[in-house]
Amino acid sequence: DAGVIQSPRHEVTEMGQEVTLRCKPISGHNSLFWYRQTMMRGLELLIYFNNNVPIDDSGMPEDRFSAKMPNASFSTLKIQPSEPRDSAVYFCASSPKGPANTNTIYFGEGSWLTVV
Amino acid sequence: GESVGLHLPTLSVQEGDNSIINCAYSNSASDYFIWYKQESGKGPQFIIDIRSNMDKRQGQRVTVLLNKTVKHLSLQIAATQPGDSAVYFCAERRFGNEKLTFGTGTRLTIIP
């Protein structure tokens, strides 16, 4: 079975450019998460969706970040304009169940973003 | 601040020995504690979880122990193998909330 699919796997962009990260969750999963990982801050939850609806976006750093989930099989995380401090690995993850039991979250392989 | 943290950033273990990775937490309201494994270049992968009303849970070659008195969590890996080399994260969650809060991670290195 295909896991969570993220694209691009690697991106290098210049400061000020728009960055769009894409995610296809595992089919049938109804929760989707965007995490960011850095050496300094570890794994941070940015936002998560349940049934395509954003539930908690308190981790989104600032207005430069936005996330959408137009349907059950696709989500985007956009950074505009990008800054060097946004350099990180961005993980998308999905889980099959609602709030009752979501300890098993399936992560993609990440999008490695470098902003120069 | 973080509600979970790890005692050691790195741990080296001889192949075949048992590994013990520790985690301290501060939030008594957590309902679940979870261990994830992250191999180099990959996303974290679920290993095992334990509910806060339990003190021990066993999986395949892994055991998680929970000591609520001292707010301590540990992951024991039996007969460590080279494939166990990874960064291990503990995480916590509250029932009804899908948000997982991760600790900083411990890098486990297996010595041949």
DSSP 3-state assignment of B84? helix
How much of chain B is helix, strand and coil, in % rounded to 5? 5, 55, 45
- Quick one: average pLDDT of B94-102? 85
Q: What pLDDT score was predicted for residue A62?
A: 83
Q: What is the mean pLDDT of residues B19-36?
A: 91
Which one is predicted more confidently, A114 or A96?
A114
Select the residue of B96, B100, B103 nearest A105 (Cβ to Cβ).
B100
Q: Which residues of A touch B44 (CB under 8 A)?
A: 43, 91, 107
What is the structure's pLDDT at A48? 94
Inspect the interface and report whether the beta carbons of B44 and A91 lie closer than 8 Å: yes
* Residue B76 confidence (pLDDT) above 60: yes
Instruction: Determine whether the interchain pair A48/B34 forms a contact, defined as Cβ–Cβ distance below 8 Å.
Output: no
Residue B1 pLDDT class (50, 70, 90 cuts) = very low
pLDDT on residue B104: 85
Lowest mean pLDDT among A6-15, A64-73, B33-42, B88-97: B88-97
B100 pLDDT above the threshold of 60 = yes
Reported as a single tens digit per residue, the pLDDT across A63-110 is 999 999 999 999 999 999 999 999 999 999 999 865 555 678 999 999
pLDDT of residue A41: 85
Q: Tokens standing for A35?
A: 């995490």
**pLDDT at B6 (0 to 100):** 47
The number of angstroms, rounded, from the C-alpha of A36 to the middle of its chain's C-alpha atoms is 7
User: Cα–Cα–Cα angle for A77, A81, A83, nearest 5°?
Assistant: 95
For residue A48, the chain B residues in CB contact (below 8 A) are 98-99
Q: Which residues does chain B have within 8 Å of residue A50's beta carbon, measured at their own beta carbons?
A: 98
Hey, are the CB atoms on B98 and A48 less than 8 Å from each other? yes
Whether residue B32 lies within 8 A of chain A, CB to CB, comes out as yes
Q: How far apart are CA B29 and CA A41, in angstroms?
A: 23
pLDDT above 90: percentage of residues in chain B: 74
Average pLDDT value for residue range A4-24: 98
Backbone angles phi, psi at B30, to 5 degrees: -65, 140
How confident is the model over A31-57, as pLDDT tens digits? 999 999 998 888 999 999 999 999 999
Which residue in this structure is represented by tokens 């948000």?
A: B99
Residues B34, A103: C-beta atoms closer than 8 Å: yes
- Contact call for B43 and A103, based on CB within 8 A: no
Residue B4 has pLDDT above 70, yes or no: no
Residues 27-46 of A with CB under 8 A from B: 31, 33, 42-43, 45
